[in-house]
Structures are given as C-alpha cells and as structure tokens.
C-alpha cells in the first residue's frame, strides 16, 4: 500500500490544467505514517523524503498553506485532536497518507476513526473502503458478490489449514499472497507453486514473517496465477463522480519467465536478498500506454471493482489479462495508494505522465473530492 519501486457514470481524464489561483482559505495537514524501527529495510520501506519534495512543489504552485506532519501509532490521536486549533482561522483539511495495517506498528484505519471523531475534512479512504481492501479476503469476497472478474482463490489460515488437491482445484500454477500486506511484502518468486507440497513448504516459510513483520495477520490467499499482460489504473472520486485515468501496461523484463513477471518484494524494492537483479542492471519493468479499445475495457472493470469495495477518495488497481483467452481479471484495489508523479516511486507517476497530468492537479482533485463527498465547498 505504500509505494512501488523497481524502475531505474465514468468520466475520462483529459489533459486538464489546474488553476494556480491560491486556495487561501485552507490549511492542509499532510499526515504521513512514521514507523519506529531500527531495521534498515523497513526504514527504507517507510521513507517519505521524496514525497516531501513533491508536496512542497505542488503546494507552492497551488498557493496552499500546509503542514507536513508525521504520525506514529502512539501519537496520531493527540496530533489530530490539535489540528483544528492549530489551523487558526483557516479551514483545516487533512491529506491522509496513513496506510498501515496497525498490526506491525504503523498507523492506518484508526487515523480515519480519529478524523471522523474530530469532524475533520479528510482525503482518501473511508473506514469501510480502508477495511475491505486492507485484507484481500473481504476484498475478494466483495468482487465475487459484485460479479467483478477475479482469479479463483481460496483462503489459508495456516499450514495446518491446507487440504489436498488445492493446486488442482485452483489450476496450477498457484500464487500465494499474505491477505494483509503492502508493497508486495511477503511475495516472492517462490510464492508461485505447482504442487500441494510446494504450497505447504512456502506457507510455512511465510509463517516465519519478515524481519519481525507479521505476514499472517489475516491469513493467506492462494490464487490461480494468471499468465499474461499486467495493467494498472488510477481512480479518483466518490459515488457517482468517478474519474478513471488511462491505464498503463507494466512490461516486465524479457529475461524473466512468465511465472516471475509480477511484483515480488525483492525486485520491487531492489533489495535482492533472495532474487537476482535484471541482466546488465536493467529495469525490472517499463511502462507503456494501451490502445483506446483496451483502455475502455480496463476502465470499465476498474470502476466496477472500485465501486464493489465502496471506493471513495482514490485507489490504484492491478489487473491481468489471461494470455490464453484475453479475459481481464482484477487482482486488487489499493486504497490509500502511494501518490507521486515519479514513476520510479509508483506506477501513478507513469499514469500521470501518459495522461499529461501534473501532481499538483491530482492533489487538488483529491482535496476537491474530500469536500464534494460531504456536500461542501471551499
């Protein structure tokens, strides 16, 4: 849910240009999650220094008074309670970037509850949207109930919960994913398995966690692995007012076999503890645009999936196309997804580049939505 790395009614997004007229009435509080840890890999995972520079440029262009406010699982309530008073005569609005699962020490859904309690206007996910997408289990159930195409799946609580024939039932190969995980944590090329024995071995490895990080907060899912092309889309809005930006395709390095063309943690974050970098230190993947016909199909299924999970604010979606029959399958909706115009940091950057949209535009649209969904204006 934090970010991606790895590269050194439906309203369509046009090449709009945001007005630079200052929004003088507002004071924007950017809440960012801070993880108290001494582990270098986890520190890197929660490094927002690049985001800080992007928000500086965006708010300077917009003429907005703003505060960069880190919060931890221990102090977010106290900070939120003081926002209104510390905003003076300006209208406070919170740009909520907190996306933690709260099991491993990072603030998340409780921040939303505290914002509601203090009757503050805030961007991003509602309590329901956050909860239903934090775990892949209720998210997949919501897809199934709404008829959104998604790969066949089964829930796994632990290695002791496995039953014979699961790989055959889902159709090998099968990919294993922690139900609660952001940034592909707990996802390795070893997670793609062909037999029940391989499945059980990998589940036991995941049970051990990652550097003290619990990867079994809500169990695991086993999902039919979709061989084929991978796409990502970006949706902003709430209710009937939803904007889907043109999709981009993630083109994985040609040296990789089909079963390794997905976002594994090691390669995504360029850690390379268990997996190898690309030959010649090439990029793990590149982005390209898609044709209009395919983009329309991707937009339609994206909005359906977004609405199936009660999407409000914004979200990023991952979708794959089965190479055998051309069918599209939604993998997940990411509420509180990482926001950036730098595609080295998140696929949102590539989407904005191909759409010809600036980061400042997106920030303003997200703030506009925070007011609009409450029937307010500024």
- What is the per-residue pLDDT across 203-239, written as a single tens digit (0 to 9) for each? 888 887 666 666 677 788 999 999 999 999 999 999 8
Query: Is 167 part of any domain?
Result: no
When divided into structural domains, the chain yields a total of: 1
Q: pTM here?
A: 0.88
* Cα first-last separation, the chain: 30
Query: Is 134 part of any domain?
Result: no
**223, β-bridge pairs:** 153, 175
Mean of per-residue pLDDT scores for the chain: 88
Query: Is 43 part of any domain?
Result: yes
Query: Is 355 part of any domain?
Result: no
The CATH code of the domain that includes 54 is 3.40.50
For 171-195, the pLDDT digits (tens) are 999 999 988 876 676 788 999 999 9
Query: Is 49 part of any domain?
Result: yes
For 2-16, the pLDDT digits (tens) are 334 344 344 334 344
The number of beta carbons lying within 10 Å of the beta carbon of residue 105 is 18
Predicted pLDDT at 122: 98
Query: Is 164 part of any domain?
Result: no
Give the range among 32-46, 172-186, 322-336 with minimum mean pLDDT. 32-46
Encoding tokens for residue 134? 């934090």
pLDDT at residue 85 tops 60: yes
Query: Is 101 part of any domain?
Result: yes
Query: Is 79 part of any domain?
Result: yes
Binning pLDDT at 50, 70 and 90, where does residue 103 land? confident
Residue 88 domain boundaries: 10-128
pLDDT at residue 317 tops 50: yes
Encoding tokens for residue 156? 């796994």
pLDDT at residue 50 tops 90: no
**Distance of alpha carbon 77 from the chain centroid:** 24
Cβ atoms of 23 and 90 within 8 Å: the answer is no
């Amino acid at each position: 849910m934090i970010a991606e790395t790895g590269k050194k009614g439906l309203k369509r997004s046009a090449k709009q240009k945001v007005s630079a007229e200052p929004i003088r009435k507002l004071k924007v509080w950017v809440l960012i999650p801070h993880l108290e840890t001494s582990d270098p890999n986890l520190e890197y995972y929660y490094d927002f220094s690049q985001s800080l520079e992007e928000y500086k440029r965006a708010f300077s262009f917009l003429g907005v008074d703003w505060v960069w406010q880190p919060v931890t699982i221990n102090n977010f309530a106290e900070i939120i309670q003081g926002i209104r008073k510390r905003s003076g005569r300006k209208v406070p609005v919170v740009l909520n970037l907190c996306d933690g699962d709260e099991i491993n020490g990072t603030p998340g859904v409780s921040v939303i509850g505290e914002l509601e309690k203090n009757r503050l206007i805030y961007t991003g996910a509602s309590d329901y949207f956050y909860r239903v997408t934090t775990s892949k289990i209720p998210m997949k159930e919501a897809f199934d109930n709404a008829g959104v195409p998604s790969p066949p799946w089964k829930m796994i609580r632990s290695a002791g919960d496995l039953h014979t024939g699961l790989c055959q039932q889902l159709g090998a190969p099968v990919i294993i994913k922690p139900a609660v995980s952001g940034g592909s944590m707990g996802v390795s090329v070893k997670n793609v398995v062909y037999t029940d024995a391989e499945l059980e071995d990998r589940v036991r490895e995941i049970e051990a966690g990652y550097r003290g990080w619990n990867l079994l907060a809500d169990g695991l899912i086993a999902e039919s692995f979709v061989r084929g092309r991978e796409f990502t889309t970006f949706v902003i809005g709430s209710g009937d007012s939803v904007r889907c930006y043109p999709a981009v395709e993630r083109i994985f390095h040609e040296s990789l076999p089909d079963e390794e063309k997905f976002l594994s943690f090691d390669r995504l974050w360029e850690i390379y503890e268990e997996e190898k970098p690309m030959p010649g230190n090439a990029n793990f993947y590149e982005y390209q645009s898609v044709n209009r016909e395919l983009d329309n199909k991707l937009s339609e299924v994206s909005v359906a999936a977004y609405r199936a999970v009660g999407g409000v604010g914004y979200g990023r979606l991952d979708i794959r196309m089965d190479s055998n029959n051309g069918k599209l399958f939604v993998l997940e909706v990411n509420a509180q997804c990482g926001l950036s115009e730098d595609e080295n940091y998140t696929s949102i950057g590539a989407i904005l580049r191909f759409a010809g949209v600036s980061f400042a535009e997106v920030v303003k649209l997200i703030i506009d939505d925070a007011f609009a969904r409450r029937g307010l204006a500024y």
